[in-house]
């Protein structure tokens, strides 16, 4: 199967370098056409020379639409370069690393069996219908026919769910990347959540994925490499060796799994679709 991989990047150029290497080294089930769209050049964030040979199509945008529109800008520009022979497209943040492509192949199979579902990603919020955009697999035909899927400003995860509803299309949750958040009443440090204000997990051992923003990590990029070695069960980053990988993966699974017992809004109320016509405050995380 030929799959387009649409990676967007602003300033996480080092993350991109390692991500491209991981894809080249460990994604072997399918044939991948890698598109990288960058809008950071005007601010000094140049793609590293060693990354360029691992990119099939590099798109450099001269102007940055800014924080609120930048993500949409990158996706809408990148979708123009999806090859016609790629039945599926994976949209990926530069800092989202996954060892191996088993999960991609699994959800290609599940989407292929469905006439209704066109999108697969993690469930993002507990209160609102919202789908993760850092790692999402989509039927390419749907993107081409519905470019508005990526035309958002605020709350992209909610926009995606609302757009699918409005176009009578469905989705599948990538359960290996869930849960994403702890409930908002968790006010103090929780294992594997480096930024409690955001309340988000950055390790997903079931899919062998890490998504850390390195500024939240003590040890920065080296710590992210250690986490990647742990979730993958390998010494992929030889200079970031860590012992007791199996024990560390067990701890990750335990603390992530424990949050499934926390009281959540979905226990006593149904999800709703967020009204995006009058932007208000951010949705409460995981509540």
**Residues 70, 157: one domain?**
yes
> What pLDDT shows up at residue 224?
97
> What pLDDT shows up at residue 279?
52
**Residues 63, 151: one domain?**
yes
**Residues 225, 208: one domain?**
yes
Distances (CA, A) of 219 to 15, 69, 123: 15, 31, 29
Q: Residue for token digits 């069996």? A: 113
> What pLDDT shows up at residue 269?
82
CATH number at residue 120: 3.90.550.10
At which of 149, 177, 205 does a domain end?
177
Question: Where do the H-state alpha helices sit in the chain?
Answer: 13-26, 67-78, 102-112, 140-145, 156-166, 220-232, 245-258
**Residues 144, 244: one domain?**
no
- Model confidence pTM above 0.75: yes
**Residues 167, 194: one domain?**
no
The domain of 224 spans: 179-267
- What is the rounded average pLDDT for all residues in the chain? 93
The counts of H helices and E strands in the chain are 7, 10
φ, ψ for residue 163, nearest 5 deg: -65, -40
**Residues 172, 185: one domain?**
no
Which helix or strand (DSSP H or E) is residue 7 part of? strand 2-9
**Residues 239, 126: one domain?**
no
Question: Which percentage of the chain shows pLDDT scores above 70?
Answer: 96
Instruction: Read off the pLDDT of each residue in 53-58 and give the average, rounded to a whole number.
Output: 98
**Residues 15, 140: one domain?**
yes
Does 16 map to a domain? yes
> What pLDDT shows up at residue 287?
46
What six digits make up the tokens of 62?
């001269």
**Residues 263, 149: one domain?**
no
At which of 144, 177, 210 does a domain end?
177
Least confident of 146-160, 162-176, 228-242, 263-277: 263-277
Calculate Rg over the CA atoms of the chain: 18
72-102 burial by CB neighbour count: b if 16+ within 10 A, else e? bbbbbbbbebbeeebebbbbbbbbbbbbbbb
The count of domains in the chain is 2
Strand, coil or helix: 5? strand
Residue 160 reports pLDDT greater than 80:
yes
In the chain, the N- to C-terminal Cα span, in Å, equals: 38
**Residues 102, 168: one domain?**
yes
At which of 110, 145, 177 does a domain end?
177
> What pLDDT shows up at residue 286?
55
Does 165 map to a domain? yes
Least confident of 50-54, 203-207, 218-222: 218-222
Instruction: Read off the pLDDT of each residue in 234-257 and give the average, rounded to a whole number.
Output: 95
Does 284 map to a domain? no
Residue 129 reports pLDDT greater than 60:
yes
**pLDDT class of 278 with cuts at 50, 70, 90:** low
Contact present, 211 and 202 (Cβ < 8 Å): yes
Does 280 map to a domain? no
Strand, coil or helix: 157? helix
Q: What is the distance of C-alpha 5 from the center of its chain?
A: 12
Instruction: Read off the pLDDT of each residue in 220-244 and give the average, rounded to a whole number.
Output: 95
> What pLDDT shows up at residue 109?
98
> What pLDDT shows up at residue 268?
82
């Amino acid at each position: 199967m030929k799959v387009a991989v649409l990676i967007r990047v602003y300033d996480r150029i080092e993350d991109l370098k390692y991500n491209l290497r991981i894809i080249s080294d460990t994604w072997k089930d399918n044939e991948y056409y890698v598109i990288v769209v960058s809008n950071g050049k005007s601010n000094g964030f140049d793609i590293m020379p060693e990354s360029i040979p691992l990119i099939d199509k590099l798109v450099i945008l001269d102007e940055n639409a800014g924080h609120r529109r930048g993500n949409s800008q990158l996706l809408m520009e990148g979708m123009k370069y999806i090859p016609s022979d790629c039945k599926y497209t994976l949209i990926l943040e530069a800092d989202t690393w996954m060892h191996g492509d088993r999960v991609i192949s699994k959800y290609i199979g599940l989407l292929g069996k469905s006439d209704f579902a066109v999108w697969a990603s993690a469930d993002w919020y507990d209160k609102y219908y919202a789908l993760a955009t850092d790692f999402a697999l989509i039927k390419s035909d749907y993107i081409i026919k519905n470019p508005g899927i990526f035309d958002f400003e605020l709350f992209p995860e909610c926009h995606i769910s609302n757009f699918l509803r409005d176009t009578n299309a469905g989705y599948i949750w990538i359960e290996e990347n869930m849960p994403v958040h702890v409930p908002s009443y968790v006010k103090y440090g929780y294992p594997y959540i480096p930024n409690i204000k955001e309340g988000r997990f950055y390790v997903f051992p079931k899919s062998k994925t890490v998504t850390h923003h390195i500024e939240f990590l003590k040890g920065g990029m080296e710590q992210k490499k250690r986490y990647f070695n742990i979730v993958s069960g390998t010494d992929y980053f030889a200079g970031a060796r860590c012992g007791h990988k199996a024990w560390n993966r067990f701890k990750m699974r335990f603390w992530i799994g424990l949050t499934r017992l926390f009281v959540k809004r979905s226990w006593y109320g149904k999800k709703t679709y967020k009204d995006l016509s009058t932007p208000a405050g951010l949705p409460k995380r995981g509540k």
